[in-house]
Amino acid sequence: MLEIDHDDLRYSGQAGEQVRMTVVPQGTVPLATFTLNGTTHNVPANGVITFPLQSQPNDQPMVLQLTLDFTGQGSYRVGVRSVTNENDDECVHTWLGPPLAIKTFSFFVD
């Protein structure tokens, strides 16, 4: 997978390629959910979200919306793997809170 745009959270990869995201709370209780393909889930206790890239109608990207809530001052470290054009094959984002942070990741299938 390649990072297309760091700030816009855009990536591209091959159909079937496995996406692995880690969501690690730092200084806050983990209160994170994600929505993928229209279904919302709690981020697993181990903080790892995995899914295969799938082609979407009309060449639209797969969209993962990540909702990060906070119990006071803190942050979340979110890593996307395996991103071949990043150091250690990981693209890292950090968001400070509060307030609630909603981040939308787009995964384009080549």
Instruction: List average pLDDT for each run of 10 residues in the chain, which is 110 residues long.
Output: 95 96 95 96 97 95 97 95 83 94 96
Distance between CA atoms of residues 24 and 73, nearest Å:
14
pLDDT of the residue at 82: 83
Query: What does the chain come to in residues?
Result: 110
Q: Which of 25, 30, 18 has its CA nearest to residue 76? A: 25
Backbone φ, ψ for residue 72 (5° rounding): 140, -165
pLDDT of the residue at 52: 97
**Residues near 103 by Cβ (< 8 Å), separated by ≥ 6?**
9, 65, 66, 68, 78, 93, 95
pLDDT of the residue at 88: 83
pLDDT of the residue at 84: 83
Q: How far apart are the first and last CA of the chain?
A: 10
pLDDT of the residue at 85: 77
pLDDT of the residue at 80: 96
pLDDT of the residue at 83: 85
